[in-house]
Amino acid sequence: MYIGLDLGTSGVKAIIVDDEQAVIATRTEPLTVSRPHPGWSEQDPEAWWKATQAALAGLRRDAPEAMAKVRGLGLSGQQHGAVLLDASGKVLRPCILWNDTRATNECVEFERRFPESRSICANIAMPGFTAPKLLWVARHEPEIFAATRHVLLPKAWLRYRLTGEMIEDMSDASGSLWLDVGARRWSDEALAACELHETTMPALCEGNAAAGRVKADLAREWGMTDRPVVAGGAGDNAGGAVGLGAIRPGNSFLSLGTSGVLWTTTDGLRVGTERGVHAFCHAVPDTWHQMGVTMSAAASLAWWSRVCGIDEPDLLAELPERIEEPSKAVFLPYLSGERTPHNDADIRGGFLGLSQDTDRASMTQAVLEGVAFSFRDALDGLQASGSVVSEADVIGGGSRSPRWVRILAAALDIPLHRLKNGELGGSFGAARLARMAATGEAPDTVCLPAERSETVHPDAALRDAYAERVKIYRALYPAVKAVSGRT
């Protein structure tokens, strides 16, 4: 038996997987985000720990025999967050999250201090990444920065609580802007740009390697006969890729979660910073990946649902069963800024093309289409950097909507595959990494492809109409940029 533990922004999800890779039990505990100022996004790491304890205690109640046989535990989780610890391991301040945009100015400063950062760290400095956050803390909270002795990403901090070890995997470390992504080691130059040293950072390992064991008292508390080995784990997207079996060059998927990701696996480092494409290490050895990221994917629909005061399924039910033409309205999904291709934390979204005849269903359709067009930006960025994405699996909560998947297939002009279980995501990948760490099995043996339930091919008429609408969508960016500010 193997546990996959996924530390998300909205909750901690824990699953137990058996030797046949069947899910025996699942538990999810909710989390909330604090936004003390516009553009800020924080969480208390102690809330992660309480949610983790509750989730694992729930698994023990639900499946005590399975918990007793757990041999390995894997971690996946939200990337880029900065957990700052003092010399005793005490958390010094709330974690600054991946979608926090306060460090925009510090991105410029980081690249000024480290001009080779884009070639070595393989990414543009963006406020969501970890390094600019530390420069912000040094400037605005100097007493906190002076007391900082360790910097951990969210799931590495969770490992620290589980095992007492400070260890991070390559995929998550790639999103810090402190990793030499090609060499798979910390960059002394990148750390020096933030007045840090390698001793501040956790040790590095591959995602399928053993990286500590669950503390004895915790293992007893959760009904485990032995102390499970804890795998290196993965950042959330790499965990999803492992869960899908997307570990071979050319494997691609689209994650329609809170944020949106278009991923493709590569056999070497392929940098695409010109269009804001991310290039990270994969969670398995000698493998890398590229991804285009849109900040508000399913979050856009969730926002619209809150504004309307209507649940998302009810909003979607107002749409025709088969979308025949684009909405007359256009939605720009820049609710939290945008990464690919703009690297713009200040841009803000909105509706355009509204008239007296515009109804709620038209605006809901425009939201789905706006997110699809942002994925088209990601696809074009990947292709411009040399990656070929000819098809993709679809995962995440948004994949439940056949309408949305059909819109996406037409906007991207590629076949999209819906999966029989497209929402396990990072937790299932984490369980697979736990198995490899415990047994020594090879990734090709464990990371089998996900089972598909349906292939959605692009509708020719809708594809052609969206090709024209994407031109309008892109032309609107400069105008919206002119009126956007830090809000």
User: ∠ CA 21-31-349 to the nearest 5 degrees?
Assistant: 105
Would you call 86 a catalytic residue per the annotation? no
DSSP 400: G
Round to whole Å and give the CA distance between 102 and 107. Answer: 10
Three-state SS for 308? Answer: helix
Catalytic residue among 6, 172, 236, 344, which? 236
Exposed/middle/buried for 20, CB within 10 Å: 0-12, 13-18, 19+?
exposed
Round to whole Å and give the CA distance between 74 and 87. Answer: 27
Best CA proximity match to 232, nearest among 272, 203, 258? 203
- Beta-carbon neighbour count of residue 374 at 10 Å? 30
The greatest distance separating any two alpha carbons of the chain, rounded to the nearest whole angstrom, comes to 66
Q: Which residues of 297-336 are buried (b: 16+ CB within 10 A; e: fewer)?
A: bbbbbbbbbeeeeeebeebbeebeeebeebbebbbbbbbb
Exposed/middle/buried for 224, CB within 10 Å: 0-12, 13-18, 19+?
buried
**What DSSP string describes 406-439?**
HHHHHHHTS-EEEETTTT-THHHHHHHHHHHHHH
Round to whole Å and give the CA distance between 241 and 433. Answer: 11
Orientation angle between helical segments 460-483 and 402-412, nearest 10 degrees: 80
Supply the residues annotated as catalytic.
236
